[in-house]
Amino acid sequence: MVASPHGVALAQAPEIGGASVPAHVAIIMDGNGRWAASRGLPRVAGHRAGAQAVRRTIEAAIRGGVGWLTLYAFSSENWRRPVGEVLDLTGLMRHYLRHEVDELTREGVRLHVIGDRTRFEPDLQAELAEAERRTAHNTRLNLIMALSYGARHEIVEAARRAARAARDGTLDPETLDEAAFGQLLSTSGIPDPDLILRTSGEQRLSNFLLWQAAYAELMFLDVLWPDFSGEHFAGALAEFSRRERRYGARPG
């Protein structure tokens, strides 16, 4: 057997037909820069306002009965931005961790981070680990923050783990199936997203959960992330309940 990064198997067989509440909603939080520009403000003001939208979204997910919420906050490609903006973003992450972890615990939120956290400064890595540790007992909502996350990197890492295990004789390549490969990803133990939302009007995935998105319902909203509200979230859940999911099977 190949060791999985996080243990706990969970993935359930998909249900065909109209789904009620998505178990897992994943959001590409886009449009902070445009929000700031439209107000004549620096981009960092958009990122700050975006952090407020994160708070509202967590509350809306809890109200909506969603069990898993993944937020794409920083992609592996976002390191290409000017160093000043990267510093603003990592500074905001520090601020968020220092000021929100108590609130997350009050609300019953368990935080888990995916992405290449080794690229962050050691103090931020330590704060991330501490926030995960302090919220580990919470059960109301699983909040997954994708930070320095890139799906292609994640998939290559998983392939490398499998190759190493085969070389070391602990994995028979013939037994490597989709479920076993999924356990080598950073999302091992996390159900695939049922619904992926992107704000800002852009219609692309930008290297987000490419493996896990195989049968996700996609929604692209014409709202900039800092303006995203509980009503937008509730509206997306309502639209999701009207979608028919088929997984390649015959329509019912």
User: Which of ligand IPE, Mg ion, none does 204 bind, CB closer than 5 to 8 A by kind?
Assistant: ligand IPE
Angle at 61 between CA 39 and CA 57, to 5 degrees: 15
The residues that bridge with 198 in the sheet, in sequence order, are 28, 220
Clarify whether 78 is annotated catalytic.
Answer: yes
Residue 29 or 58: the one with the smaller Cβ distance to ligand IPE is 29
According to the binding rule CB under 6 A, does residue 204 interact with ligand IPE? yes
Which residue, 76 or 183, has its beta carbon nearer to ligand IPE? 76
Name which of ligand IPE, Mg ion, none residue 75 binds, using a CB cut-off of 5 to 8 Å depending on partner kind. ligand IPE
Closest CA to 137 of 114, 110, 118: 110
Q: Can you tell me which of 19, 28, 141, 236 binds ligand IPE, judged by CB under 6 A?
A: 28
Site for Mg ion in 23-42 (CB under 5 A): 30
Cβ-contact 31, 232 below 8 angstroms: no
Stretch that binds ligand IPE, among 66-74, 132-140, 181-189, 227-235 (CB under 6 A): 66-74
Overall residue count recorded for the chain in this entry = 252
**67: closest CA among 13, 133, 22?**
22
Q: Please identify which of the residues 78, 116, 138, 207 carries the catalytic annotation.
A: 78
Closest CA to 51 of 102, 93, 101, 90: 93
Kindly list the distances between the CA atom of residue 111 and the CA atoms of 49, 101, 114, 136, 145, in Å, as whole numbers in the listed order. Answer: 21, 9, 10, 7, 7
116 is an active site residue: no
Residues facing residue 114 across a β-bridge: 146
What residues from 221 to 240 belong to the interface with ligand IPE (CB under 6 A)?
225
Residues that bind ligand IPE (CB under 6 A): 28-34, 72-75, 78, 89, 200, 202, 204, 206, 225
Applying CB under 5 A, the residues found at the interface with Mg ion are 30
